[in-house]
Amino acid sequence: MPTITLPGADGLAPFTLSPPRDFPKATPPFPRIALAAAHVVADPLAEQDPWLDAKVDWDRTIAYRRHLWSLGLGVAEAMDTAQRGMGLDWAAALDLIRRSLDAMRDVPGAVMASGAGTDHLAPGPDITIDDVIRAYEEQCEAIEKLGGRLILMASRALAKAARGPADYERVYARILSQVKEPVIIHWLGEMFDPALDGYWGHAEHYTAMETALSVIQANAAKVDGVKISLLDKEKEVVMRRRLPSGVRMYTGDDFNYPELIAGDADGHSDALLGIFDPIAPAVGGALARLSQGDLPGFHAILAPTVPLSRHVFRAPTRFYKTGVVFLAWLNGHQDHFAMVGGQQSARSIGHFAELFRLADAAGLLRDPDLAAARMKTLLALHGIA
């Protein structure tokens, strides 16, 4: 196995890679739904201003979705925080959804749901609740016209315009009354997007949860599930136990997902996670073990991925996608480490070095020689020979 020199708390030190792990092959259906919030691959050769433009390598982007589907995972499209509001605009997001839906039709059993929000409506003092409703309607209609399922994303414009819980109830009731199929509601916490602080009309999460539950209970027939991204397992379990019958909890907790997916005597969470993008082979293998009733095997596969995920999602959490794309580059899914919005610059070389060690410990560097060579390139750019 190759050895490289990595920076750490005590300075530079040699690090020898381990062989990649051979995960069990996964064949859906699984006892849990698993959706990965997939990243987009930037086109670094396109003429652009990297911090302002979002030029996409569509072939590699769609190829990555095919990779996720081949491992038995579904795709949550155009909804992660590095695509919406920090990268792709609504026009580009809709193009991405269209291309992914076209590709999905060639993949038997493929599953996908797509993010509908209000990100083409800039928050401001003149924005009204009716403006927010129209913005949601526009995106929902466009995605449904393509034949897509919906994930109702949290709205920055709504967070700015709402004067209390009643405004949230009004907006969601109106949109849910119109959708063709049950949707996934996404409650994205302020740790992912500070502009969403106080969502559902309250800064305190348990109080806000009452509004969210009221919306879901009043519209249960139109809600497939709710994904909460608060990075707090206790809040997720509390809400999960209060959901109406038939409404799923999709964990968005990238810190505690194995135990939440495994569940307890009172229920379990399905999953819609950003970390499932880079750890997809492990997720597929773990779900294969769960399908066989092998709970210890499920945990044995996922446990080494948790320190990796916690590092990827460490504060400032909104920069997590940098680690996701870094791992895609190390594993040969793209030929460069460039991102939409120039976000490859959002983490330090020390962060990348630790991420490299943790990915190796989880058995997720599928070609150690390639990963080592690419890591050496990044180190050299930071003055480490």
Domain extent listing, the chain: 29-305
Rounded-to-integer distance, Cα 275 and Cα 288, Å: 18
What's the pLDDT tens digit per position in 322-372?
A: 999 999 999 999 999 999 888 899 999 999 999 999 999 999 999 999 999
Q: How many CB atoms lie within 10 A of CB 207?
A: 12
Confirm whether pTM is higher than 0.75. Answer: yes
Task: Tell me the sheet residues that pair with 321.
Answer: none
Backbone dihedral region for residue 345 (phi beyond 0: left; psi -120 to 50: alpha; all else: beta): alpha
When pLDDT is cut at 50, 70 and 90, the band that residue 55 belongs to is confident
Three-state secondary structure call for residue 75: strand
CATH number of 29-305: 3.20.20.70
Query: Is cis: bond before 44, omega within 30 of 0?
Result: no
Rounded-to-integer distance, Cα 313 and Cα 191, Å: 10
DSSP state of 343: G
Question: C-alpha distances in angstroms, 114 versus 29, 144, 151?
Answer: 20, 10, 5
* pLDDT at 81 > cutoff 70: no
Rounded-to-integer distance, Cα 238 and Cα 264, Å: 12
Task: Tell me the sheet residues that pair with 288.
Answer: none
Three-state secondary structure call for residue 56: strand
Query: Is cis: bond before 108, omega within 30 of 0?
Result: no
* pLDDT at 36 > cutoff 60: yes
Which amino acid is located at 44 in the chain?
P
